[in-house]
C-alpha cells in the first residue's frame, strides 16, 4: 500500500536552493541521483520540504545539497547523505463484530475490537440514513442513538502511526421492545408444574424458547417448548432460567425462584380469636386450586358450609376448627381456635387529672373487639381501644365495648388543672467580677433557681448573680397538687471575660525621640482608648499614639485603658519608658558574669534612640568572631558553638542608625568574669 508523506530538511534563510545530487551510486530505474525516491517524490528548492507518494517498502539513499548564493555568486555549499527507510504500510487496525443488535433501546456503545497500539485516529460512520449529518464520530469509544428501528451498515476507518489506514464494516440491528417473561403454577412435588410463556416483542415474532427448570438432581430438566410442564424430583426453592428468541435476532433471558413444597399452600388470617356465645363468626382460608373441608371435634354441628373456603361457625363454647385442603392429591391442614365468652366486661381506668393542654391516652382492660367513646364536651373521639384526648375543662368520658353482640360499659372523669405560671427576667451583660440582679415571678407552690452556686439569696425570687462565665439561670415552679408538672423559664447572663491588653515590654528613649506606643487586643473592633499621661502624646484616644518626651525626666509610665463600647467593660495595662537626656548612642556594659544566676548573665548593647541595629559583634584576642547579632534585644551568653569561653577581655564592635537617620558606631572591650 503506497501513501503520501512529507519530510522536512533543516532550513536556513540564506539558502538559495535545495536539490538531489547523484553521488556515484548505481541507481536502478526508475530511480536516479536526481530522483532517488522515484518520480512521485520532489523537493522544494526554497524550503527543503520533501513530499509526494512514497515508493515501495525498502531503504533508499538520498543526498541533499544546500548552496549559499549572494549577488549571483556561489559562496559555499553543504551536502548531507542519509538513508530513508520506507516501511510496509499494511496495517490490521480496524476490527468489528460481524453484527450488533439492541433489543432494549436505540443506543449502542461501540469500540474497535483491534488491539493495535499504533492507532492515531478514528472515523465512524453509523449508517443512520435519517440522520446523515450527525451519524459520525471520531471518538475511540463512541456512543450513538439511532433515530429509528431497522438494520444499518456501520463503517470504521482508522489511521495508524505513519498514515497507514484500515477499515471495517458491521451490521447493526435496532429492534427495541423485546422482553422475556413467564408464569408458573403448581401445588406440590406430587404434581407437575405448568410453565407459560408471557414474553412480548414489538418487532418480528418470538420463534424460539429454552427452559432450564433448576432441578439439581438431573441434567434433563430442560425444554424447548413454549409452554412446558415439569415434575420435580425433590422439594425446595428452584431457580428457573428462561431464554426466548425472535425472528429479528433478539435474545433475552429471565430467571425466577419458585417454591416446590411437599404440600399445597395454605394461609389463614388468624389462628386464635374470640367471640360472644350469641355470635356467628366467618372463617377464612386461602389455598388456590384446592378443595376445602372444615371439621370440629368440640362443636361438629356449628359449621355452616363446611366445604367452602370461608364457612361460618357459631359455637356455644370454645372450639377448634380444622381445615383440610386437597390439591390433586397434595394435602395440607391448619386450625383456628375460637374462644367463646358468655359476656364481657370493661374497665376504662380510674378517674384522674391532667394539666391543661396536655394529652391523655386511655388504656381500658377488656376482651372487646370494638369500642365507641363519647364525652360531655362533645368532641369526637377515635373508635379505637386506646384513644388520645386533650380536654380543656373537666370532662366525663363514656365507653361502650362490644364483642360481637355482647356489650359492656364504663365511665371516666377527668379533672383539668392549669399549669403554674413562671416568669424570669434580668437578661444582662456584665463585666468579669461584677454582679447583677435576677427577677422571678410565679404562682407555683414551690420554686427554685439553678445553678445556685453563683447566686446570692438563691432561695428568693430576686437573687443576685455573679457568674465567672456566661450562664443560663433556670427558674422552676411546681405545684403540690392538681397540675404537678414543672414549668421553667430562663435568664441569660453574659459575662465579658477580662480584657487583656498587650502594650509590649518596658523600653527606653532619648529626649525628643518619637516612640510608637501600641495597645493590642484580640478583637479591637469596638473599643475606645485613653492613654495617660497625655502631655507627651500626639493623640491619647487611639490605640497607637506616638510619644515624644521633650523635657528631662528619668522615666515615665504610660497607662492605657481600653473600654468595650457595647458592654462598658474595660481593661488596663502600662509600660515604663526610661528617658536618657543624652543624644542617640549605643551603650555597652564594661563586664558581665555568665554564671547562670539570672543576674548580668548576658552581654547586650543598650540602644538609645537607635531605630536599627546593623550589628553587634564580639571578637576574642586573636581576632576570631565568636558572636554577632542584629536583633535589638539579643546578647552574648559567653559561649561559642555551645562551649563556654574563658574569662578575659573581648573586643566589641557595634553599628546602627538613629531615629534621625544618622549612623552610630561604637567599639571597645568587655570583661568576661567567671
Of 38-52, 195-209, 246-260, the range with the lowest mean pLDDT is 38-52
Average pLDDT on 375-403 reads 96
Q: Is 301 helix (H, G, I), strand (E, B) or coil?
A: helix
| Contacts of 310 by beta carbon, 8 Å cutoff, 6+ apart | 282, 283, 284, 285
Average pLDDT on 185-206 reads 93
Distance CA 352, CA 337 (A): 38
At 338 the pLDDT is: 96
At 1 the pLDDT is: 39
At 518 the pLDDT is: 95
CB of 629 within 8 A of CB of 616? yes
For residue 24, what pLDDT band results from cuts at 50, 70 and 90? low
| Contacts of 588 by beta carbon, 8 Å cutoff, 6+ apart | 603, 605, 606, 652, 654, 666, 668, 670
Distance CA 448, CA 444 (A): 10
Cell numbers at residue 574, please?
Answer: 502600662
CB of 546 within 8 A of CB of 515? yes
Average pLDDT on 298-316 reads 96
pLDDT at 121 over 90: yes
Q: What letter would DSSP give residue 190?
A: T
Taking Cα atoms as reference points, which of 330, 83, 289, 333 lies closest to residue 189? 330
pLDDT at 487 over 50: yes
Residue ranges of domains in the chain, CATH in brackets:
4-86 (no CATH), 99-174 (2.60.40.10), 182-260 (2.60.40.10), 272-341 (2.60.40.10), 346-417 (2.60.40.10), 422-496 (2.60.40.10), 507-580 (2.60.40.10), 586-672 (2.60.40.1220)
For residue 11, what pLDDT band results from cuts at 50, 70 and 90? very low
At 19 the pLDDT is: 39
pLDDT at 3 over 60: no
For residue 91, what pLDDT band results from cuts at 50, 70 and 90? low
**pTM for this predicted structure:** 0.49
At 65 the pLDDT is: 85
Taking Cα atoms as reference points, which of 100, 114, 91 lies closest to residue 154? 100
Average pLDDT on 238-267 reads 95
At 16 the pLDDT is: 35
Distance CA 156, CA 46 (A): 40
Average pLDDT on 301-317 reads 96
For residue 68, what pLDDT band results from cuts at 50, 70 and 90? confident
CB of 489 within 8 A of CB of 423? yes
**Mean pLDDT across the chain, nearest whole number?**
91
At 590 the pLDDT is: 95
pLDDT at 17 over 50: no
For residue 21, what pLDDT band results from cuts at 50, 70 and 90? very low
Using alpha carbons only, give the angle 167, 169, 172 rounded to the nearest 5 degrees. Answer: 150
What are the φ and ψ backbone dihedral angles of 18, each rounded to 5 degrees? -130, 145
pLDDT at 4 over 50: no
At 59 the pLDDT is: 85
Of 152-166, 256-270, 639-653, the range with the lowest mean pLDDT is 152-166
For residue 25, what pLDDT band results from cuts at 50, 70 and 90? low
Segment 421-480, tens digit of pLDDT = 999 999 999 999 999 999 999 999 999 999 999 999 999 999 999 999 999 999 999 999
At 605 the pLDDT is: 94
Segment 74-89, tens digit of pLDDT = 888 888 888 888 766 6
Average pLDDT on 520-529 reads 88
Average pLDDT on 559-583 reads 92
Q: Is 130 helix (H, G, I), strand (E, B) or coil?
A: coil
Segment 327-380, tens digit of pLDDT = 988 999 999 999 999 999 999 999 999 999 999 999 999 999 999 999 999 999
Amino acid at each position: 500500500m503506497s501513501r503520501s508523506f512529507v519530510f522536512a530538511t533543516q532550513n536556513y534563510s540564506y539558502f538559495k536552493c535545495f536539490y538531489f545530487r547523484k553521488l556515484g551510486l548505481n541507481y536502478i530505474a526508475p530511480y536516479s541521483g536526481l530522483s532517488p525516491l522515484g518520480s512521485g517524490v520532489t523537493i522544494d528548492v526554497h524550503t527543503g520540504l520533501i513530499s509526494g507518494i512514497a515508493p515501495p517498502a525498502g531503504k533508499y539513499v538520498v543526498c541533499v545539497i544546500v548552496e549559499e548564493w549572494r549577488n549571483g555568486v556561489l559562496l559555499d555549499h553543504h551536502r548531507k547523505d542519509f538513508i530513508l527507510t520506507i516501511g510496509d504500510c499494511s496495517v490490521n487496525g480496524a476490527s468489528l463484530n460481524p453484527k450488533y443488535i439492541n433489543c432494549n433501546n436505540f443506543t449502542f456503545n461501540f469500540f474497535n475490537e483491534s488491539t493495535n497500539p499504533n492507532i492515531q485516529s478514528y472515523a465512524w460512520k453509523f449508517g443512520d440514513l435519517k440522520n446523515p449529518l450527525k451519524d459520525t464520530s471520531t471518538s475511540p469509544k463512541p456512543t450513538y442513538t439511532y433515530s429509528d428501528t431497522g438494520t444499518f451498515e456501520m463503517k470504521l476507518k482508522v489511521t495508524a502511526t505513519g498514515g497507514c489506514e484500515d477499515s471495517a464494516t458491521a451490521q447493526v440491528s435496532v429492534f427495541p421492545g423485546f422482553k422475556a417473561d413467564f408464569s408458573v403454577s403448581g401445588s406440590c412435588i406430587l404434581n407437575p408444574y405448568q410453565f407459560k410463556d408471557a414474553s412480548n416483542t414489538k418487532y418480528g415474532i418470538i420463534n424460539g424458547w429454552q427452559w432450564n427448570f433448576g432441578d439439581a438432581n438431573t441434567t434433563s430438566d430442560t425444554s424447548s417448548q413454549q409452554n412446558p410442564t415439569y415434575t420435580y424430583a425433590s422439594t425446595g426453592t428452584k431457580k428457573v432460567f428462561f431464554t426466548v428468541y425472535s425472528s429479528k435476532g433478539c435474545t433475552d433471558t429471565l430467571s425466577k425462584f419458585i417454591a416446590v413444597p411437599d404440600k399445597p399452600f395454605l394461609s389463614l388470617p388468624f389462628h386464635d380469636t374470640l367471640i360472644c356465645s350469641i355470635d356467628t363468626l366467618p372463617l377464612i382460608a386461602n389455598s388456590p386450586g384446592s378443595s376445602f373441608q372444615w371439621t370440629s371435634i368440640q362443636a361438629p354441628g356449628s359449621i355452616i358450609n363446611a366445604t367452602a373456603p370461608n364457612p361460618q361457625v357459631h359455637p356455644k363454647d370454645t372450639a377448634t376448627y380444622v381445615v383440610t385442603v386437597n390439591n390433586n392429591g397434595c394435602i395440607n391442614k391448619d386450625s383456628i381456635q375460637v374462644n367463646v365468652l358468655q359476656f364481657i366486661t370493661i374497665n376504662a381506668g380510674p378517674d384522674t387529672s391532667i394539666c391543661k393542654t396536655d394529652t391523655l391516652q386511655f388504656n381500658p382492660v377488656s376482651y372487646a373487639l370494638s369500642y365507641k367513646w363519647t364525652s360531655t364536651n362533645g368532641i369526637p373521639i377515635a373508635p379505637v381501644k386506646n384513644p388520645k384526648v386533650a380536654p380543656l375543662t373537666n370532662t366525663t368520658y363514656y365507653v361502650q365495648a362490644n364483642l360481637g353482640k355482647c356489650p359492656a360499659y364504663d365511665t371516666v372523669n377527668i379533672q383539668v388543672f392549669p399549669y403554674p405560671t413562671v416568669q424570669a427576667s434580668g437578661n444582662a451583660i456584665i463585666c468579669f467580677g461584677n454582679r447583677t440582679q435576677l427577677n422571678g415571678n410565679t404562682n407555683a407552690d414551690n420554686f427554685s433557681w439553678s445553678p445556685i452556686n453563683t447566686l446570692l439569696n438563691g432561695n428568693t425570687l430576686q437573687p443576685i448573680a455573679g457568674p465567672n462565665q456566661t450562664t443560663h439561670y433556670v427558674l422552676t415552679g411546681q405545684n403540690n397538687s392538681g397540675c404537678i408538672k414543672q414549668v421553667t423559664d430562663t435568664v441569660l447572663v453574659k459575662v465579658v471575660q477580662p480584657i487583656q491588653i498587650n502594650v509590649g515590654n518596658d523600653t527606653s528613649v532619648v529626649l525628643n525621640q518619637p516612640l510608637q506606643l501600641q495597645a493590642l487586643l484580640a478583637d479591637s473592633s469596638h473599643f475606645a482608648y485613653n492613654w495617660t499621661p497625655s502631655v507627651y502624646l500626639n493623640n491619647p484616644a487611639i490605640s497607637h499614639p506616638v510619644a515624644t518626651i521633650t523635657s528631662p525626666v528619668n522615666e515615665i509610665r504610660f497607662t492605657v485603658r481600653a473600654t468595650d463600647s457595647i458592654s462598658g467593660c474595660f481593661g488596663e495595662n502600662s509600660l515604663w519608658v526610661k528617658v536618657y537626656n543624652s543624644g542617640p548612642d549605643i551603650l555597652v556594659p564594661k563586664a558581665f558574669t555568665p554564671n547562670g544566676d539570672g543576674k548580668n548573665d548576658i552581654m547586650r548593647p543598650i540602644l538609645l534612640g537607635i531605630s536599627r541595629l546593623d550589628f553587634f559583634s564580639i571578637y576574642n584576642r586573636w581576632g576570631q568572631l565568636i558572636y554577632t547579632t542584629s536583633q535589638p534585644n539579643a546578647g552574648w551568653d559567653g559561649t561559642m558553638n555551645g562551649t563556654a569561653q574563658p574569662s578575659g577581655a573581648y573586643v566589641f564592635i557595634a553599628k546602627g542608625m538613629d531615629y534621625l537617620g544618622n549612623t552610630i558606631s561604637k567599639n571597645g572591650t568587655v570583661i568576661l568574669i567567671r
